[in-house]
Amino acid sequence: MVEGLPGVGKSTLVTAWAHLVADVLFPDGQVHLNLHGFTPGRSPVTAEQAMHSLLSALRVPVAEIPPDPEDRMALFRDLFHDLALLLVLDNARDSAQVEPLLPRAGRSRWSPRAGA
C-alpha cells in the first residue's frame, strides 16, 4: 500500500514501478482503477461499481456481468485467481473502499493507494 498527501506523486511512483516490473511479475497484465475517493465534485466509486469496471477490464462482456453483487465478486475472483495480474486501486478514500475488491488468493498482487 502506498499512502501520502495528495499531489506528492504516489500515482506516478506506482505507475513507474509497474512499468519496470510488468513483464516479470505481471505477465497477464495490469488493471488500474480510480476509486475517486478524493476527487472534488465526484462521489467515491462503490464496490459494486468498481467490480463492474474490473470485470469489464478483464474483458467480460457487459451482458455476462451478473447483476447480483455477490455473483459479480465470485466471477471476478474466479477469473483473477489464476492470473499474474497487477490490480492498482488508486485514489481510495480508505481501506473499507478497497477491501471488498481484493482477491482472496491466487498469483496476483494488489496495491491499494489511499489519497492518490
Q: What is the DSSP string of the chain?
A: -EE--TTSSHHHHHHHHHHHHHHHH-TTEEEEEE--SS-TTSPPPPHHHHHHHHHHHTT--GGGS-SSHHHHHHHHHHHHHT--EEEEEEEESSHHHHGGGS-SSSS-EEEEEET-
C-beta separation of 88 from 14 below 8 A: yes
C-beta separation of 113 from 10 below 8 A: yes
Q: What is the pLDDT of residues 6-49, one digit of tens each?
A: 889 999 999 899 889 988 999 999 999 999 998 999 999 999 99
pLDDT the model gives residue 115: 53
The radius of gyration computed from the CA coordinates of the chain, to the nearest angstrom, equals: 14
pLDDT the model gives residue 1: 81
- For the cut 90, the answer to whether the pLDDT of residue 66 exceeds it is yes
pLDDT the model gives residue 43: 96
pLDDT the model gives residue 104: 67
Distance between CA 24 and CA 17 in Å, rounded? 12
pLDDT the model gives residue 81: 84
- For the cut 60, the answer to whether the pLDDT of residue 88 exceeds it is yes
* Residue 105: pLDDT band with limits 50, 70, 90: low
- What mean pLDDT, rounded, does the chain reach? 86
Any idea which residue has 455477490 for its cell? Answer: 70
pLDDT the model gives residue 82: 82
